[in-house]
Amino acid sequence: VVEKCQLYLSPEYTVTPAQLAVEAIGMEVSARERELVLRTMGRKYKMRLHTTSKLPADLNRENYEIKGYAEYVDEVPLVFKHSKINLNISSKTITSGIPQRVFDILACGGFCLTNYQPEIAEYFKEDYELVMYRGMEELMEKTDYYLSHEEERRAIAQNGQNALIER
């Protein structure tokens, strides 16, 4: 796996080939999960993507507005604040902790819909400061719900931002 992915480190690193392989597999699984989310959600919703990543060739482009790179300091906060739903799909290589994106979305007053991770549930009040999903079906259900419940969605976004300010 390490050779196929062309992952090589200089001798100063103490990472074993097995650790590199686990990292490579985690990155591939994460990419496939994100593609599945894009395909599934894109069948039903109009989506705006800020990415420089290559998108799958078979992705139906009709429901996607591809915006390209968003500058982190000046543009990203506005994207998070003004998007109805901001998705966080944690990398499978992150086995514990809270992804920085969750903090970034909430700090900007954005609504965060994230995959479940124990540390997120320990730190934030689910369905009060942010919303978590545990599978594709639940992701779609919660997206439907919060797109049609704007006041509740805005209140959760405000509660999430307040939680960061208060803590």
User: Which of 99, 95, 167, 162 minimizes the C-alpha distance to 128?
Assistant: 162
Q: Looking at the DSSP assignment, which residues form a beta bridge with residue 35?
A: none
The CA distance from 48 to 66, in Å, is 6
Q: pLDDT digits over 131-163, tens only?
A: 999 999 999 999 999 999 999 999 999 999 999
Q: pLDDT digits over 73-91, tens only?
A: 999 999 999 999 999 999 8
User: Which of 50, 97, 37, 54 minimizes the C-alpha distance to 77?
Assistant: 50
Q: 16 or 11: which carries more pLDDT confidence? A: 16
The CA distance from 76 to 63, in Å, is 21
Q: Which two tokens stand for residue 84?
A: 């109805």
Crossing angle of helices 17-42 and 136-147, rounded to 10°: 40
Crossing angle of helices 136-147 and 150-166, rounded to 10°: 100
Q: pLDDT digits over 28-42, tens only?
A: 898 889 889 988 998
Q: How many residues does the chain have?
A: 167
Q: Looking at 5-149, list the stretches that DSSP marks H as alpha helix, in order from N- to C-terminal side.
A: 17-42, 76-82, 100-107, 118-123, 136-147
